[in-house]
């Protein structure tokens, strides 16, 4: 029996190590090149995601998904919707489910018949190849979430978290040193706005590291007797984490993405407010002072480094960007496109094809995105797709907010805060951009939120982590600024 248990233990350890390595490779490889928008990038994400899911299945002691299964089922529901959109349907049934899709297929078959070609099978999707790719990608994101949650431990979260920060910082340094001074940096991405969206994930992670360091500052101080050593042990870890946060802020500022800057600022405020509600914080005024001071220091560092240009663009119009009224026009036309496919959408990934039906003849643009994540899902997934995706985002966001506030483990609370902050930032930025259509961004978000949910699951299990140590420390664990 012991031999069998030992073999299972070795298999589980190997599975955990392999899954962690695959996630580490994913964090580094996903953004390169161009945020994985090319077919090869999407294929890499899918391969690593499903391989990580397979290896995580060998971890016998992996935590159950728990309450997050509601969000996961909703996300998989979007993938199931994509499968339904791909399913061959009798034309009379398709007419009932999606009349415009039936009309498009009928007209296409009429043209094919003129050239003696075989007719195509009627489906809801008006571009099945694109829908297949989008469906597989959504399933891959779910796989990344499950795999990250399975290997989530204090050491794994810290290692992968700093790897996310390193990958973002490396792109910032590379972009700043290789691009012109007057150019908006975009890193490995094509669009600076999407680079800002990617950096928002790293911003949330570094903010959480700052919060964790503040929460544990009292414990570090208590171990020292010399006053200078007390000050150094308490504030030095906070200072270099603030420095890391400031580097990410610099990156977002020099992208000069107005939506990205607003989303980053708003999410940081939300994270600070949630942090003040953590069960570990008793002296709220002291914690608020420390947290606000950290934010001010990071922003001051960023502004001192970048100068005034990012803020000037924030209040000005950039001629290289689409004008704001054009963006509003795209939103209005997207609503018109949705009316053609109200319930089940035109097919995941088919916004370009759906938009062509309503695009004015005089508009000499190839419109592939709605510049609004919710509108894009509404067009391609209909009311069903939007409802499922919104439920998934809101559910996991609420669960992580609860975990941040009530988790007994300070590190677990901070990681729940990281997942929440990343979701809030990308959701807000998605009101004017299409970050969720850039594969590297939602794939990285899936890993971070999976790790964050793993920390929350430790709380529900009541075992893993450092709860026993923290509970024994008494009031000092709850008084970070003591």
Contact 31, 189 (CB under 8 A): yes
CA distances from 118 to 85, 108, 126, 127, 473 (A): 21, 11, 17, 17, 75
How far is Cα 168 from Cα 323, in angstroms, rounded to an integer? 29
pLDDT of 481 > 50? The answer is no
Contact yes or no for 459/409 (Cβ under 8 A): yes
Stretch among 6-10, 29-33, 146-150, 385-389 having the lowest mean pLDDT: 6-10
Considering only CA atoms, which of 375, 389, 385 is closest in space to residue 344?
Answer: 385
- What pLDDT is attached to residue 88? 95
**Segment among 94-98, 174-178, 310-314, 423-427 with least mean pLDDT:** 310-314
pLDDT of residue 231: 61
Six-digit token string for 291: 């947290």
More confident residue, 218 or 27: 27
Q: Who's near 201: CB < 8 A, 6+ residues apart? A: 164, 168, 422, 425, 426, 441, 444, 445, 448
Query: pLDDT at position 300, please?
Result: 64
Pick from 191, 153, 187: nearest CA to 171:
187
Whole-model pTM?
A: 0.87
Distance (Å, rounded) from C-alpha 113 to C-alpha 108? 9
């Amino acid at each position: 029996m012991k031999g069998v248990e030992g073999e299972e233990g070795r298999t589980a350890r190997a599975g955990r190590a392999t899954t962690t390595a695959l996630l580490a490779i994913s964090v580094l490889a996903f953004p390169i090149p161009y945020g994985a928008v090319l077919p090869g990038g999407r294929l890499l994400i899918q391969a690593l995601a499903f391989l990580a899911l397979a290896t995580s299945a060998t971890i016998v002691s992996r935590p159950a998904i728990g309450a997050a299964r509601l969000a996961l089922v909703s996300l998989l529901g979007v993938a199931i919707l994509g499968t339904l959109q791909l399913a061959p349907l009798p034309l009379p049934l398709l007419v009932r489910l999606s009349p415009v899709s039936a009309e498009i297929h009928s007209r296409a078959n009429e043209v094919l018949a003129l050239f003696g070609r075989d007719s195509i099978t009627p489906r809801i999707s008006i571009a099945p190849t694109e829908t297949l790719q989008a469906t597989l990608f959504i399933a891959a994101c779910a796989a990344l979430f499950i795999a990250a949650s399975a290997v989530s431990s204090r050491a794994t979260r810290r290692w992968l978290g700093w790897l996310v920060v390193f990958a973002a910082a490396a792109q910032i340094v590379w972009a700043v040193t290789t691009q012109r001074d007057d150019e908006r940096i975009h890193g490995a991405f094509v669009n600076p706005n999407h680079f800002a969206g990617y950096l928002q994930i790293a911003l949330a992670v570094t903010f959480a590291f700052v919060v964790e360091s503040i929460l544990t500052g009292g414990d570090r101080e208590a171990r020292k007797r010399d006053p200078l050593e007390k000050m150094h042990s308490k504030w030095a870890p906070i200072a270099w984490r603030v420095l890391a946060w400031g580097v990410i802020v610099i990156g977002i500022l020099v992208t000069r993405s107005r939506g990205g800057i607003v989303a980053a600022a708003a999410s940081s405020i939300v994270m600070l407010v949630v942090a003040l509600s953590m069960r570990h914080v008793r002296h709220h005024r002291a914690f608020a002072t420390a947290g606000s001071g950290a934010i001010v220091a990071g922003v001051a560092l960023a502004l001192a480094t970048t100068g005034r240009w990012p803020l000037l663009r924030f209040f000005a119009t950039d001629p290289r960007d689409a004008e704001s009224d054009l963006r509003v026009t795209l939103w209005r036309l997207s609503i018109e496109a949705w009316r053609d496919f109200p319930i089940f959408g035109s097919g995941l990934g088919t916004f370009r094809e759906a938009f062509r039906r309503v695009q004015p003849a005089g508009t000499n643009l190839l419109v592939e995105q709605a510049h609004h994540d919710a509108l894009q899902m509404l067009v391609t997934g209909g009311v069903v797709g939007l409802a499922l995706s919104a439920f998934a985002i809101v559910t996991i966001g609420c669960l992580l907010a609860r975990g941040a506030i009530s988790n007994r483990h300070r590190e677990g609370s901070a990681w729940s805060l990281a997942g929440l902050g990343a979701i809030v930032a990308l959701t807000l930025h998605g009101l004017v951009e299409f970050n969720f259509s850039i594969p590297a961004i939602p794939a990285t978000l899936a890993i971070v939120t999976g790790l964050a949910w793993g920390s929350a699951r430790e709380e529900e299990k009541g075992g893993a982590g450092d709860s026993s140590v923290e509970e024994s420390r008494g009031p000092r664990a709850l008084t970070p600024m003591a």
